[in-house]
Structure 1
Amino acid sequence: MPQSPAPPLPSPKERRRLREAKSLSQADLAAKVGVTRETVRSWETGRTSPRGRKREAYAKLLNAVAAEQAAAEAPHRPEPKKTERATTSASTSSTPSTPSTAGGRSRSRSKSAAKRAAKPRTPAPHAAAASTAPAAPTALRSLPVRVTKAEAPPEQPDLTPAQAFDALCAGCGPGLVRQAYLLTGRRGLAQESVERAFQLAWQRWPEVAVDRDPAGWVRAAAYEYAMSPWHRFRPGQRHPDAPPAQAADRAFLDVLLSLPPAQRRALMLYDGVGLDLPETAAETEASTPAAANRILHAREAIAERLPDLADPEVLHQRLGEVGKAEKLRLPRAERVRTGSEYRARFWTRAAIAFTALIIGATALTLRNAPTHYEPPQAPGRAISGVPPRMGPGPLTYEDTTLREKLRAEFPNGEERLTPEAR
């Protein structure tokens, strides 16, 4: 019996927008669909996709939200086609041989008005830093809408997997190393995190190759490894690296590293990489208002200590200049692939050895284990009516005297014991 096709789903970004338009949290949506909050988060970030009945319930809920939005926006939509047709017909009936000047002016005015209405309003930079704890809607309105995205190497279908991976590594590696250095302030850790991220991407290359944004996949892995709190327990990370040569770079890096890790990462993605606000929130696994508040608080902290960087455009240029000023070792694709394969072989052999050790210990236990059940011995108890075991008692006075007499006389020889009559 043929299976019914799976219902289509919108893009992960559209799924997140529909949920927020319905004013639902990830926990609320998870309760409606019957999954966990982490599952909904992975669906909205594009890491996984629902299947079976969960997919049908998820698609039905999203379609209902989209239908509600369409029904709410339908009465407020203008009808430009009817107006243009009426204007054109009126001008044509008045002057059929010449083009209509009034109709052209009205159409140009309507187009310019539509452009003004569609253009996002970008407030002044000081408006974002005015409030210390803005609410979610204010934070969203005060942040400009960015349309620039991280440039990824062009896809070429004729390349082999190794060639495609090398192209990705060559195109995204230098920028990722500089970003990791700005996030951590350590050159060695930045290089190590990027190499580890590319090694993980090569191990999962079939999954990364078909991803919508391979560069974003590697960037997220590099950021997670670079900002892991466990690095502070490593002996090599106890002492800070040498600061930059320029005094301005040192001051900017100190201010950047003084920010909390969540604000530092959101600022790097939004002002450094150039992602828009929903993509920044999705990559940091936070809500859009939370990501907006993090960016605004980070900008306020930087503008308070470095007033020259209050403008977001100047901050964006400054992030690129400080990253490019440092001489960092770039990851080599061949070395990354070799290291990834070596690590995969090492952990595979370690897993096989550990499994063999468990099997051997289990076999030895089974070999030495008893084959039948032996019940434990019951504890003893006292029995009445049985006389206790006794030995010979002490000698009396007569017995002691006779023993001494016998020991004093000679047992051998002519002298013999003779009975005496009494």
Structure 2
Amino acid sequence: MTQSPAIPLPPPAERRRLRESQSLTQAQVARRVGVSRETVRAWETGRTTPRGRKAQTYATLLAAARRPSAAVAETVAAPVAPLTPAQAFDALYGLCAPALVRQTYLLTGRRELARESVERAFQLAWHRWPEVAVDPDPPGWVRAMAYECALSPWHRFRARHRHPEPPPADPGDRALLSALLKLPPPHRRTLLLHDGLGLGLPETAAETEASSLAAANRLLRARAAVADRLPDLADPAHLAPRLAGLATHARLRAARPSSVRAGSERRARNWTQAGIALTAALIGATTFTVRTAPTQYEPPVAPGTTVQGVPPQAAPGPLSRKDLTLQKKLQKAAANGPERVQPEPK
């Protein structure tokens, strides 16, 4: 009996990245392939491998995302020219930025803040590209940075973010977004990573810098809070597609990768110039202090010592005849004046 050849599939980590590039959750992939969500999660972690007709369907689904992103995802041994850093960055940006803007919108409820956070995250990635390029999960690195920028408490001091933006037009999307924004930021982030993106609990805990137990507690509390406001979403299987649909309906666009790289370089140049100016100011102040400060100890001038250039203080001399007469007159007036208090003799 002949055995069908194995269907080529990308590595497990690449499978998850290709799914995220299409803004698909694990539950959506599971429905299209005809398996459970836990099976898709096992495929993406490498615990199991799809076989037969399901493997063919899964490979076709991933191939739809591999075609536009072959510059960064193709790993076959074909004679291709190596990518330059700018080309690799642009490929990563085109793969992750559109979906990441929609995800960040669910964290903040603000379209402009979502775009700014993603742009800032990719600016940091371009500034630290040697580190990001060799990271085991570059999309996860950028996603974590974008989430940190979006949830920064300093945004509350910005005048443009003091007033809420118009909510979604659909009543269901508006209710879901309102329920999400009522959650504490750590719970909101954990819910989005686990139920929205389909990350496992260990991956979610690692990205939120929490223990697995803390991440599980946050997830359960977030689900319970959403279920209290929206009882029809009490089942996590119903919540995941709604989160994906809410992010898709936001219709957010990311900036061009060339402008992001230019902004990163401009910001780095400005910081460098500011550092040089501050260093020059410190050097100037130090030089001035050294040149004007005394080089040896100078004791203070003792009282009564003659100072060069300063005339000596004149001592009081004897009173003249006229001054003596005036003194006696004043003494008599002080003793006999009606407004003076004279002590009584004992």
> Which of residues 385, 389, 395 is equivalent to 2:321?
395
Deviation of 1:379 after TM superposition, in Å, equals 6.0
Deviation track 1:220-268 (CA, whole Å, cap 9, x = no partner) reads: 0000000001100111110111111111111110001000101000001
Correspondence 1:18-417 to 2 at 5 A: 146-147=41-42, 154=73, 158-378=82-302, 391-395=317-321
Partners of 1:174 and 1:319 lie apart in 2 by 16
Partners of 1:200 and 1:379 lie apart in 2 by 66
Partners of 2:220 and 2:137 lie apart in 1 by 26
Paired AA for residue 195 in structure 1: E
Distance 1:391 1:288, change over 3 A: same
Deviation of 1:149 after TM superposition, in Å, equals 5.5
Deviation of 1:155 after TM superposition, in Å, equals 5.7
Deviation of 1:391 after TM superposition, in Å, equals 2.0
Distance 1:379 1:232, change over 3 A: farther
Partners of 1:392 and 1:330 lie apart in 2 by 96
Secondary structure of 1:350 counterpart: helix
Secondary structure of 1:274 counterpart: coil
Structure with larger Rg: 1
Deviation of 1:309 after TM superposition, in Å, equals 1.0
Deviation track 1:107-140 (CA, whole Å, cap 9, x = no partner) reads: xxxxxxxxxxxxxxxxxxxxxxxxxxxxxxxxxx
Partners of 2:43 and 2:320 lie apart in 1 by 113
The answer as to whether partners of 1:281 and 1:291 remain within 8 angstroms in 2 is yes
Partners of 2:234 and 2:102 lie apart in 1 by 22
Identity of aligned residues (%): 62
Partners of 2:224 and 2:257 lie apart in 1 by 39
Partners of 2:200 and 2:302 lie apart in 1 by 78
Distance 1:368 1:155, change over 3 A: farther
Deviation of 1:394 after TM superposition, in Å, equals 4.2
Secondary structure of 1:357 counterpart: helix
Instruction: Give RMSD over aligned pairs.
Output: 2.7
Q: Which residue of 2 aligns with 1:383?
A: none
The answer as to whether partners of 1:231 and 1:237 remain within 8 angstroms in 2 is yes
- The TM-score with structure 1 as length reference comes to 0.56
Q: Which residue of 2 aligns with 1:7?
A: none
| Gapped regions of structure 2 (runs ≥ 5) | 1-36, 46-64, 76-80, 305-314, 327-346
Partners of 2:215 and 2:316 lie apart in 1 by 93
Partners of 2:156 and 2:113 lie apart in 1 by 11
The answer as to whether partners of 1:270 and 1:276 remain within 8 angstroms in 2 is yes
Which runs of at least 4 in structure 1 moved beyond 3 Å after TM superposition? 143-153, 377-380
Aligned pairs, number: 250
Paired AA for residue 73 in structure 2: P
The answer as to whether partners of 1:149 and 1:273 remain within 8 angstroms in 2 is no
Partners of 2:316 and 2:177 lie apart in 1 by 96
Paired AA for residue 361 in structure 1: A
Partners of 1:240 and 1:208 lie apart in 2 by 34
